[in-house]
Structure 1
Amino acid sequence: MTLLTHHADPVTSGDEDVSRRLLDSAAALSYDPAVDVDWDAPLDPAHYGLNPEWSTLYGTPLWEEMTEEQRVTLTRHEVASIMSTGIWFEMILQQMVLRDQYVKNYADAEFQFALTEIGDECRHSIMFARACEKLEIDAYFPTRLSIELGRVFKSAAGGEAAYGGILVAEEVLDVMQRDWMRGENVLPLVRRTSQIHVVEESRHMKFARQEIRERMAGASATRKRTSSVVIAAAAYFIVKNMVNEGVYAAAGLDPTTAIAAARSNEHHKTMVRNSCSHLMHFLAEVGLLSRPAMRIYQRVNLI
Structure 2
Amino acid sequence: MTRALENPNSTRARSREEVAQRLLKGSVRKSYAPVVDIDWEAPVEPDVFFLPPQMLSLYGTEQWDNMSREQQIELSRQELVNVLSAGIWFENILNQALLRDLMHRNPTAASSHYKLTELGDETRHMVMFGKAIDWAGGIPVRPRLWQRIIINALPFLFRGPVLWGAALVGEEIFDALQRDILENGDAQPIVLRLMRIHVTEEARHIQFARDDLRKTAPTMPWYRKMLVANLHGVGGPFYRYLFTNPAIYARAGLDPREARRAALANPNFRRSCKEGAAPLTDFFTEVGLMGRLSRRMWRRAGFL
Q: With the length of structure 1 as denominator, give the TM-score of the two structures.
A: 0.92
1:243-282 equivalent positions in 2, closer than 5 A: 243-282=244-283
User: For residue 74 of structure 1, what is the aligned residue in structure 2?
Assistant: 75
Shift of the 223–140 alpha-carbon distance from structure 1 to 2, 3 Å rule, reads same
Larger displacement relative to structure 2 (264-273 or 211-220): 211-220
The residue type equivalent to 2:207 in the other structure is: K
Q: Give SS of 2:219's match.
A: coil
Q: Decide whether aligned partners of structure 1 residues 232 and 50 sit closer, same or farther in structure 2, where only a CA change above 3 A counts.
A: same
Query: How far apart are the structure 1 equivalents of 2:180 and 2:24?
Result: 27
Alignment of 1:1-303 (within 5 A): 10=7, 12-142=13-143, 146-303=147-304
More deviation, 254-263/81-90: 254-263
Partner Cα distance (2:229, 2:37) in 1? 38
Paired residues of 2:85 and 2:129 also in contact (CA < 8 A): yes
User: Helix, strand or coil: the match of 1:288?
Assistant: coil
Q: Which portions of structure 1, spanning 4 or more consecutive aligned residues, are displaced by more than 6 angstroms?
A: none
Q: CA deviation at 1:262?
A: 1.1
Instruction: State the distance in 2 between where 1:62 and 1:190 align.
Output: 25
Deviation at 1:145, TM superposition (A): 5.2
Task: State the distance in 1 between where 2:238 and 2:249 align.
Answer: 20
Q: Alpha-carbon deviation of 1:242?
A: 4.2
Is 77-86 or 278-287 further displaced after alignment?
278-287
Which of the two has greater helix per residue?
Answer: 2
- How big is each residue's C-alpha offset from its partner over 1:173-226, in whole Å with a ceiling of 9 and x where there is no partner? 011111223444300111010000000000000011112223323113322121
Give the TM-score of the pair, scaled to structure 2.
0.92
Query: Which stretch has the larger CA shift, 75-84 or 9-18?
Result: 9-18
- Aligned-residue identity in percent: 34
| 1:89 counterpart letter in structure 2 | F
Q: Could you report, residue by residue, the CA deviation over 1:99-158 in whole angstroms, capped at 9, with x for unpaired residues?
A: 112142222110000000000000000000000001111110235554343333222221
Instruction: Tell which has more relative contact order, 1 or 2 (C-alpha 8 A, sep 6+).
Output: 1
2:6–2:106 Cα contact (<8 Å) kept: no
Unaligned runs of 5+ in 2: none
Once structures 1 and 2 are overlaid, which stretch shifts more, 248-257 or 194-203? 248-257
Aligned positions, number: 296
Which segment is superposed worse, 91-100 or 228-237?
Answer: 228-237
Between the aligned partners of 2:260 and 2:125, the Cα distance in structure 1 is 29
- The change in CA–CA distance for 1:113 and 1:301 in structure 2 (over 3 A counts) is same
- In structure 1, how many angstroms separate the alpha carbons of the residues matched to 2:85 and 2:185? 23
Letter in 2 for 1:187: Q
State the shift of 1:239 in Å. 4.8
Offset from partner CA, 1:237-275 (integer Å, 9 cap, x none): 255224531111222212221111112112111111112
CA contact (8 A) 2:240 2:302 kept: no
- Unaligned stretches of 5+ residues in structure 1: 1-7
Displacement of 1:70 after TM fit? Answer: 0.5
Deviation at 1:302, TM superposition (A): 2.1
Q: 2-side partners of 1:93 and 1:277: how far apart?
A: 22
